[in-house]
Structure 1
Amino acid sequence: MMFSTTLKSALFGLGALAITASGALADDLADIKAAGKIVAATEMHYAPFDMLENGNYVGFDRDLFDEIAKEMGVAPVYEDLPWTSILPGLEVKKFDFVLAPVTMTAERADRYSFTLPIADATVTFVQRKGGKMTKPEDAKGLTVGVQKGTAQQKQLDAYSAKIGGFTIKEYGTNDEAYADLMTGRLDAVAGSAPLLNYLAKKRPDDFAVVNPPFGTPTYFGYVARKGEGDTLVAAVNDALKKIEADGRMKTLQEKWFGAATALPQMMPKL
């Protein structure tokens, strides 16, 4: 009996040690701190958040995450990947963090760990300057483009059903959709308000935003793996709060979006 009890205790101790070890190994923040760097993935074709200019990565996300990494005391490493491969790539641990602005939804929050909001993500339309639309409802019967696999696409599907239907064409990138809009293959493109406002501001002779936005008010956040990435998200949130409090967020918003927008300092209800 003594031997059996001792053996059981030893096995229990080994099991507890294994659980502790696996928990430590599953702490993304600890691994990042040990490596001294954080590898973040985004699609660098999502102006003004992520862009390539003369081969250099620039944009709101780049500037903001440089500041976040500085607060965390690690070096940022950026990877450019197609949007459709980013969330699956996070799950199989090809990188540490999703820097691409991810629309915050309840469905995604069940699978991933979201940071605090980093920007507005409400959906609207952009059309060619002088186009047919004066309000969102005018999309009925037209042909609208959207980036495939996005939360904006889901809202567009719902809006089409709501107003009686329009043709939806899916694109791999927003840039491809904008090109078809300019050639007349599309009547409009749906996307988040910051992207389309930036596009119209940069190319006022080509594009015009159709106001008001038609989508449900939503936000963009960054994403980590659920569970093992929770401490990482907490560290990023601490950095975001400092950046908001000392005015750096306002400066970056004005630089890239043309105006500052107040963001929730608590997780919004999804």
Structure 2
Amino acid sequence: MKYLISGLALSLALGGPALAQDKYVVAVDGTFAPHAMPTMDGGLEGFNIDLINVIGERLGAEIEIVATQYSGILPGLQAGTYDFVIAPTTITPERAEAYYFSEGYLNTDFQFLVKAGGPEITALEQLEGQVIAVNKGSAYDSWARELADEIGWTVESYGTATDAVQAVVSGRAFATVAGNTVIAWAAKQNPAVQLSYLHSTGLVWGMPFRKGDDELREKIEGVIECLKTDGTIAELHVKWFDSEPAEDSAAVTPRPGWGEPDLPGYVEDDHEPGCA
């Protein structure tokens, strides 16, 4: 499914004329609520949809959003199908070896979701012997599988985050694990499930680019930094997650240089973040 979003040539917070008249093809998992999800009229809405729309407006660029399963997004980027990825993607050292990343724009912790009325989970060890549903190809998939022998759980992968939640509702899985924003949204929308154990990661979500696309990464990251400093990302945080971002979180704190510091692909630079 493709959704065409045309950005206007706005000066807005950039304080001048649009930077360029371009078109970018970007990829998102269209079932990853509240970051991207279908609307009644066949479009898409969510935090990341709003975010890329604003980026397109600030650049005066045309954005073509391709909604697809997450497991095919990074291979599609590598193959040149997409210019960059707007699906929430956890920046890990392994991924940063293979792709360029923008600086993080949201913190992401891992949170479990269980059937409503289930036992309180306060430690991973309590999930020994249980089936854990995950979104195939996601960071939660690889993390859960790496811990499978240590914890003693069984991991089952599903094509979408929604399918993983339904596995819990139907009893095929004891729990599902995903980013805390996604899990909070799922619990808010479905009384059959409830929030459970929160695992702090120290990780952030960023936007992946192909290695070598330095100019494009810097262009997009420059707008992300502007949206942090002018409060736009904080406003989207309240709109979609019902909470203000933490004071020092990635949603409001521009990083120095290009990319996420201390990870592969990071480039030191003394540019001043803002809406110049």
Specify if TM > 0.5: yes
Question: Is 1:222 matched with 2:207?
Answer: yes
TM-score (norm 1): 0.81
The answer to whether the 8 Å contact 1:42/1:98 transfers is yes
Q: Counterpart amino acid of 2:233?
A: M
Q: Evaluate the alpha carbon distance shift between residue 208 and residue 192 of structure 1 in structure 2; reply closer, same or farther with a 3 A threshold.
A: same
1:132 shift after superposition: 2.8
Question: Is 1:179 matched with 2:179?
Answer: no
Partner Cα distance (1:209, 1:131) in 2: 10
Partner Cα distance (2:21, 2:94) in 1: 32
Corresponding residue to 2:228 among 221, 224, 244: 244
Aligned to 1:39: 25
Runs of 4+ in 1 over 6 A off after TM superposition: none
1:181 shift after superposition: 0.8
Partner Cα distance (1:250, 1:236) in 2: 18
Corresponding residue to 2:132 among 144, 169, 174: 144
Q: Evaluate the alpha carbon distance shift between residue 134 and residue 58 of structure 1 in structure 2; reply closer, same or farther with a 3 A threshold.
A: same
Q: Evaluate the alpha carbon distance shift between residue 145 and residue 59 of structure 1 in structure 2; reply closer, same or farther with a 3 A threshold.
A: same
Q: Counterpart amino acid of 2:166?
A: A
Q: Evaluate the alpha carbon distance shift between residue 161 and residue 214 of structure 1 in structure 2; reply closer, same or farther with a 3 A threshold.
A: farther
Q: Counterpart amino acid of 1:184?
A: G
The answer to whether the 8 Å contact 1:133/1:139 transfers is no
What is the Cα-based RMSD across aligned positions, in Å? Answer: 1.7
Aligned to 2:116: 129
TM-score (norm 2): 0.80
Partner Cα distance (1:35, 1:87) in 2: 26
Question: Which structure has the greater CA radius of gyration?
Answer: 1
1:245 shift after superposition: 1.1
From the two aligned structures, give the one with the greater helix fraction.
1
Partner Cα distance (2:56, 2:69) in 1: 23
1:121 shift after superposition: 2.1
Aligned to 1:158: 146
Gap runs ≥5 in structure 1: 1-32
